[in-house]
Structure 1
Amino acid sequence: MGKGYRQGRLGEEIRKIVSELLLRELKDPGLSSMISVTAVEVTSDGSYATVYLSVLSTSGAENEQEEQQKALDAMNRAKGFIRNEIGRQVKLRHTPELIFKIDHSMEYGRHISKIIRDLDIDHEDEE
């Protein structure tokens, strides 16, 4: 297997654990909106894990960035607890330091789809 096989497996395990903690354990007022873990990237030496979060805004686009920032702040407050749970469940010699980031790929995908729709290209057969 390639070099990233272990990092990929570890990232997937961390994603599952953080998702489960978000669903059942974490009770923070900053986590009032719907949050999902879209991906986890682990560095090659396993010292850092970047956790990408997707925040579904419940109040509309005008407060979207504010809700994203609240979610990031809440996750950073719970970082020690989350890291402890990862270390307990995965049995690692060194638990990676967690870095939380907002995943903007959904917004980017909607933007690209809008651009394609705005082109107004007919999809007729050119025979």
Structure 2
Amino acid sequence: MRKNSIKNIRINSEVQKELSNIIRTEVKDPRIHPMTSVVAVEVAPDLKSCKAYISVLGNEKAAEDTLEGLKNAVGYIRRALARSVNLRNTPEITFILDQSIEYGVHMTRLIDDVVGKEEVSDDGMNTEGDEGSC
């Protein structure tokens, strides 16, 4: 099975959905932040390993605590995944912190700030230019 085959894409999406459900409903570790989401999952073609990209809506401390809690609960999560997804092999899960959503929000704020400053300076120039032409 190739990495980008339709079967692998379906397995990735199914594992992502189930991991998200398991983390949200079954894992009771207080270190795991309630606003934790599984952004993407990459299951190896041989079904032996899996990279799960996790995003945490919160500060840096909450993200670190969540990642630590997930690493400690990886055995339970893997067992729950084996019960919910019928695969030949249940992959070893590696959790990776994904900060792309946070980075995107930060960049949007910067762009909004720049656009807001340009609109203020444009409004000031237009009123002066209108008075001069009358």
TM-score of the aligned structures, taking structure 2 as reference length: 0.74
Show the counterpart of 2:6: 5
Show the counterpart of 1:28: 29
Within-5 A mapping of 1:31-110: 31-57=32-58, 64-110=59-105
Show the counterpart of 1:17: 18
Report the Cα offset of residue 118 of structure 1. 4.3
Matched residues in 2 for 1:116 and 1:23: separation? 33
Matched residues in 2 for 1:116 and 1:56: separation? 21
Report the Cα offset of residue 74 of structure 1. 0.7
User: Which runs of no fewer than 5 residues in structure 1 stay unpaired?
Assistant: 58-63, 123-127
Matched residues in 2 for 1:107 and 1:117: separation? 15
- Do the aligned partners of 2:35 and 2:57 also contact (CA within 8 Å) in 1? yes
Show the counterpart of 2:124: none
Report the Cα offset of residue 65 of structure 1. 1.4
- Do the aligned partners of 1:49 and 1:98 also contact (CA within 8 Å) in 2? yes
User: Which runs of no fewer than 5 residues in structure 2 stay unpaired?
Assistant: 120-134
Find the residue that maps to 2:31 and give its secondary structure.
helix
Alignment RMSD: 2.1
Amino acid at match of 2:92: E
Q: Name whichever structure is richer in helix by fraction.
A: 2
Find the residue that maps to 2:66 and give its secondary structure.
helix
Report the Cα offset of residue 14 of structure 1. 1.2
Work out which of the two has the higher radius of gyration on C-alpha atoms and give 1 or 2.
Answer: 2
TM-score of the aligned structures, taking structure 1 as reference length: 0.78
Find the residue that maps to 1:8 and give its secondary structure.
helix
**Residues paired across the two proteins, number:** 116
- Do the aligned partners of 1:42 and 1:49 also contact (CA within 8 Å) in 2? yes
Show the counterpart of 2:123: none
Structure 1: 4+ residue segments shifted above 4 A: none
